[in-house]
Amino acid sequence: MSHLHLDKAKTFAFSAHEGQRYGDKPYSVHLEDVVQLLGPFGLNAQIIGYLHDVVEDTDVTLDQLQNEFGVFVAQCVDILTDKPGSNRAQRKRQTYALMARVVGDHELALVVKAADRLANVSACVKSSNLKKFTMYRDEHEQFKNAAYRQDLCESLWHELDQLIGSAL
């Protein structure tokens, strides 16, 4: 993938999330935070970083994503998209079960997920959002059991573990 594809992913994601908010900021702020964390992991990680929430939070379909960005990117976004459930715990349980089975090249989705979670927890700390911080802290062990792979993105996990271990 090229920088042209990265620009396309950014434009596509910003357009899809148009009008959505991340706390009191435009949703694009969250996407930029995630992509910035993914810089050391390459262009594909950054492309998936921009697109990681488009299927879950907008009207974009996996078929549209595949047509625009290819099968691999669509498959990675699918891994990152919460599976159906009647509540957050049920959705996360199903999503984490899928993540736990991911192997090979698709583990890049797990790098993006670690960056996404780190961006979310960092935002909670910066804004002193105790409710969301507590939610992420309570989910952390289950999340890490599903998404962590040794030597895949240790720097992201180290920072995330540090934040989760801190008191807000």
Enclosing domain of residue 91 = 3-165
Does residue 3 contact residue 46 with C-beta atoms inside 8 Å? no
pLDDT digits (tens, 9 = 90+) for 66-119: 999 999 999 999 999 999 999 999 999 999 999 999 999 999 999 999 999 999
pLDDT digits (tens, 9 = 90+) for 11-59: 999 999 999 999 899 999 999 999 999 999 999 999 999 999 999 999 9
CATH value at residue 46: 1.10.3210.10
Does residue 136 contact residue 124 with C-beta atoms inside 8 Å? yes
**pTM reported for the whole predicted model:** 0.96
**CB neighbours of residue 161 within 10 Å:** 14
N-terminal to C-terminal alpha carbon distance within the chain: 39
Q: How confident is the model at residue 4 (pLDDT cuts 50, 70, 90)?
A: confident
Q: Which residues contact 24 (CB under 8 A, 6 or more apart)?
A: none
Tally of structural domains, the chain: 1
Please check the confidence at residue 128 and state whether its pLDDT lies above 70: yes
Catalytic sites, residue numbers: 56-57
Give φ, ψ of 21 to 5 degrees: -120, 150
pLDDT digits (tens, 9 = 90+) for 71-86: 999 999 999 999 999 9
